[in-house]
Structure 1
């Protein structure tokens, strides 16, 4: 299977708004696109665009459409609420033919190994996987993401600790986020994701299981794992993150500049400002681990 790089960008779309923000960026740059909506995950708004609905396991249909549409670049974006139950997936004929390669990928162990295997699998079929920074760089946080700078400056020690902790757990392929308050690591992100971690922080505070003064205190820090392939699972924040941080009693959010996506940026900034939270992008490359 050989495809041209001159065709539309294929977008494998999970849930929430980011797939549509990528579409807007591609439209502005004059690029064509085609959406593959994951059944049970993607928003029905994809039906307003060139699209195809895909069930887990329909790999043959995916590649048939890629070839028909002359898609040479493919982007994976959007939330996945739950990993699929592989026992319930019905493989189409294309997937059955590719099963030996798929099983080899799944045996790689660890998310990074599996994702790199997926990239090689696609590239052997003439499709280059691309990252959001390559096709929609405006979604990546930079210096313009800044609300409550003076509030952030009052939390420099906690920011430094959170950056180190996030780098360490990232190196272990364990998560992309950390909550720190008053010089103490309150929560490390695991497979549950950021929203559930912040719910855990809310319960910790409500149950008074951590030393925590009244009022807003502490912060969430998000950064990519060291050496992370940004084509996959790029750290993301958005309005839901802002609301959950506010509910958890945090003082703000720090994102690693160039490593994190911000969904609905203007709404996120407005919500942070209204809630009295700081929201900033910082260069974290020089933080010692």
Structure 2
């Protein structure tokens, strides 16, 4: 029995997190969002949330960490158990209020079962790099683009839209919406060259939303992001230090150097 459970979503973060932990946790994955490189101990559905939470308690779990990407699941009314069905109005109201409200409600429900919520950085602090230039070089134009992008992400995050933006010569080329980072960067690469400034390559910027609960949904950057940034013709990636997880940092630094991209962990105190 273990006291910690990872509530896993899709992607490499759950496996990366578990590799950094001294003791193997119980791994529970939301049905339809299996993590990469990891076999869950339990697969659960939202419609059976109360039985799932009771099972965690029966297994001796006292704390949980949410890691990995999930989207709003399609709910099957025929699968609800009586106790979970009583929570449906709460969940629907939260979903209508946005992703942040949905996450807050989910956390509240877990805490009502006396489960402590841990962040990925509680379990593996080194996943979020300290402030500083990690790879490559930045120019005054890059600094200006990052400042502009940070302001855009802050404004969009305040209305629960996204966590990223692409800026070139202070011109916003794209923002992250429900389709996610990969789609945004792919779309950036399709922008005709005559519409893009030629004075700087521009950058992709990532940061948490204002007032976001950093115990869940912490923004994540990985090797796939680097490749898409290069294909989009950008100069590098800037992100808020302490608020963004960098997956496989050693491999990312090496690949960034090969692609001639910068990786910049930007202090959050800057506007």
Measured against aligned partners, the alpha-carbon deviations of 1:200-238 in whole angstroms (never above 9, x if no partner) come to 10111xx34623339x71000101111110122111100
Q: Specify which of 263, 269, 280 is matched with residue 253 of structure 2.
A: 269
Q: Specify which of 2, 13, 16 is matched with residue 18 of structure 1.
A: 13
Where does residue 143 of structure 2 map in the other structure?
A: 156
Please report how far the alpha carbon of residue 265 of structure 1 lies from its aligned counterpart in structure 2 after TM superposition.
Answer: 1.5
Where does residue 224 of structure 1 map in the other structure?
A: 208
1:65 aligns with 2:55: yes
Please report how far the alpha carbon of residue 141 of structure 1 lies from its aligned counterpart in structure 2 after TM superposition.
Answer: 2.4
Structure 1 runs (4+) greater than 6 angstroms displaced: none
Please show how residues 80-229 of structure 1 align to structure 2 within 5 Å: 80=70, 82-86=71-75, 88=76, 91-93=79-81, 96-108=82-94, 109-143=97-131, 146-148=134-136, 150-204=137-191, 207-208=192-193, 210-213=195-198, 217-229=201-213
Please report how far the alpha carbon of residue 68 of structure 1 lies from its aligned counterpart in structure 2 after TM superposition.
Answer: 1.9
Please say if residues 56 and 89 of structure 1, whose CA atoms lie closer than 8 Å, have aligned partners that are also in contact.
Answer: no
Where does residue 3 of structure 1 map in the other structure?
A: none
Judged with a 3 Å threshold, the aligned counterparts in structure 2 of structure 1 residues 144 and 181 are, in CA distance, closer, same or farther, namely closer
Please report how far the alpha carbon of residue 107 of structure 1 lies from its aligned counterpart in structure 2 after TM superposition.
Answer: 0.5
Please say if residues 145 and 281 of structure 1, whose CA atoms lie closer than 8 Å, have aligned partners that are also in contact.
Answer: yes
SS at match of 1:57: helix
Please report how far the alpha carbon of residue 98 of structure 1 lies from its aligned counterpart in structure 2 after TM superposition.
Answer: 2.3
Judged with a 3 Å threshold, the aligned counterparts in structure 2 of structure 1 residues 107 and 56 are, in CA distance, closer, same or farther, namely closer
Q: Which whole-Å CA distance do the structure 2 matches of 1:177 and 1:200 have between them?
A: 14
Report the TM-score, using the length of structure 2 for normalisation: 0.91
Measured against aligned partners, the alpha-carbon deviations of 1:239-281 in whole angstroms (never above 9, x if no partner) come to 0100010000000000100000111211111111110000110
Unpaired segments ≥5 residues, structure 2: none
Judged with a 3 Å threshold, the aligned counterparts in structure 2 of structure 1 residues 161 and 144 are, in CA distance, closer, same or farther, namely closer
Aligned length: 269
Please report how far the alpha carbon of residue 165 of structure 1 lies from its aligned counterpart in structure 2 after TM superposition.
Answer: 1.1
Structural RMSD (CA): 2.2
Please say if residues 60 and 92 of structure 1, whose CA atoms lie closer than 8 Å, have aligned partners that are also in contact.
Answer: no
Report the TM-score, using the length of structure 1 for normalisation: 0.85
Unpaired segments ≥5 residues, structure 1: 1-5
SS at match of 1:65: helix
Where does residue 44 of structure 2 map in the other structure?
A: 54
Q: Which whole-Å CA distance do the structure 2 matches of 1:173 and 1:147 have between them?
A: 31
Please say if residues 8 and 32 of structure 1, whose CA atoms lie closer than 8 Å, have aligned partners that are also in contact.
Answer: no
SS at match of 1:244: helix
